[in-house]
Amino acid sequence: MFYETARNDHGLPYNPFKAIVAPRPIGWISSMSAKGEVNLAPYSFFNGLTDHPPTVMFASEGRKDSVVFAEETKEFVCNLATWALREQMNGTSTPFARGINEMEQTGLAAAPSRLVKPPRVRDSPCALECKWLQTVRLSDVEGKALERYVVFGQAIGVYIDDRFIKNGRLDTAAMKPIARCGYDEYAVVESVFKMTRPPGGGKNV
């Protein structure tokens, strides 16, 4: 099959786009307003962009609290969403009123970050403490400005739960990160495989 997105004539009950761009890592973003209100929400239009320096992005459909707070205080934290925390992660996507702390609402403990003010999710095995770099408002192919915002940040501090470091490497499969697929589907990473890059093709680590 083939369909044109402008026509959306795929004939399927639901748009398949998110099932194609899958699995997507989940940036579980904690942020703080200028007034000190704490916010936590999952964003699966999220990724790391570069590792030197370590940069990340998340994209918001609308100017959601995470965007507004990250801009207000120029900081945010990306917590790793895991199988063990899946229900709480989902709970933090509830559209609470601005200023309501999703960590408290979902019974998640907060832990202080080291270099930025927004707290991290205590029981998440990894957290990237980020400084806001810029927000880009997207336009479509006709140049029409969209209510779609991409927030870029640079990780200046990285928390890792030492229990997941084995033989000097982070054991990704042991953390069981979850990722977003299409519809109501998620993936969980429980196994990994190794493959070395071709000679001259770049670093393997």
Ligand X SMILES: Cc1cc2nc3c(=O)[nH]c(=O)nc-3n(C[C@H](O)[C@H](O)[C@H](O)COP(=O)(O)O)c2cc1C
- Interface stretch with ligand X, choices 39-47, 124-132, 150-158, 167-175 (CB under 6 A): 39-47
Contact pick of 15, 47, 55, 90 for ligand X (by CB under 6 A): 90
Residue 132 token pair: 């806001």
Q: Using the rule CB under 6 A, which residue among 61, 87, 185, 190 binds ligand X?
A: 61
Candidates 14-22, 41-49, 106-114, 123-131 — which segment interacts with ligand X by CB under 6 A? Answer: 41-49
Report in angstroms how near the CB of residue 200 gets to ligand X at its nearest.
Answer: 36
Question: Whose Cβ is closer to ligand X: residue 64's or residue 120's?
Answer: 64
Contacts of 39 (CB under 8 A, 6+ apart): 29, 30, 31, 32, 33, 65, 66, 69, 101, 102, 118
| CA pair distance 82, 27, nearest whole angstrom | 11
Please select the residue that binds ligand X; options are 39, 88, 106, 113, rule is CB under 6 A.
39
CB of 55 or CB of 90, closer to ligand X: 90
User: Measured between alpha carbons, how far is 3 from 138 in angstroms, rounded to an integer?
Assistant: 23
Q: What is the C-alpha to C-alpha distance for residues 120 and 111, in angstroms, rounded to an integer?
A: 5
What is the helix (H) or strand (E) element at residue 91, kind and residue range?
Answer: helix 86-91
* Site residues, ligand X (CB under 6 A): 26, 39, 41-45, 59-61, 64-66, 90, 93, 95, 180
